[in-house]
Every structure is written in C-alpha cells, then in structure tokens.
Amino acid sequence: MFEFDQYLGFLAFLTIVTIGFWLMIFLLTFVVPYWLIGNIRELLKEKREARKARKA
C-alpha cells in the first residue's frame, strides 16, 4: 500500500492534472473564442473605416 509521502505526492499529481484539465477547458471554451471574435470584429471595423476614408 502507499506510504504517507507517496499518498501526498499522488494527491499533488491529481491536483495538478485536474487544474490543467479545467484550465484547458476554460481556455478552449471562453478565452480562445473571445480572442478570435474580438480580432475579427476589429479587422472588419478597420476595413469599414478604410472604405469610408477612400470614399470621402
């Protein structure tokens, strides 16, 4: 069976893996789409402003 220090190491390992898993879920479902949508919105805004500047 596990000794106490092995048990603590195993708990630390599980904690780190779980934190990494939830961080990846958070990044893939919120941060990356937010970043992509913001970049697309800014790109369209710049193109629209360039088109207005060319017409005026």
What is the pLDDT tens value at each position of the chain, 56 positions in all?
779 999 999 999 999 999 999 999 999 999 999 999 999 999 999 999 999 999 87
Domain contains 8: no
Q: What is the pLDDT of residue 56?
A: 73
Please tell me the distance from the alpha carbon of residue 44 to that of residue 29, in angstroms, as a whole number: 23
Domain contains 4: no
As given in the structure block, the two tokens for residue 40 are: 């697309």
Overall number of domains in the chain? 1
Domain contains 50: yes
Q: What is the pLDDT of residue 24?
A: 98
Domain contains 7: no
Q: What is the pLDDT of residue 23?
A: 98
Residues 2 and 10: beta-carbon distance below 8 Å: yes
- The residue written with tokens 């879920």 in the block is 25
Domain contains 12: no
Domain contains 41: yes
Domain contains 13: no
Q: What is the pLDDT of residue 1?
A: 78
pTM of the model: 0.70
Domain contains 40: yes
Full residue range of the structural domain in which residue 33 is found: 24-56
Q: What is the pLDDT of residue 36?
A: 97
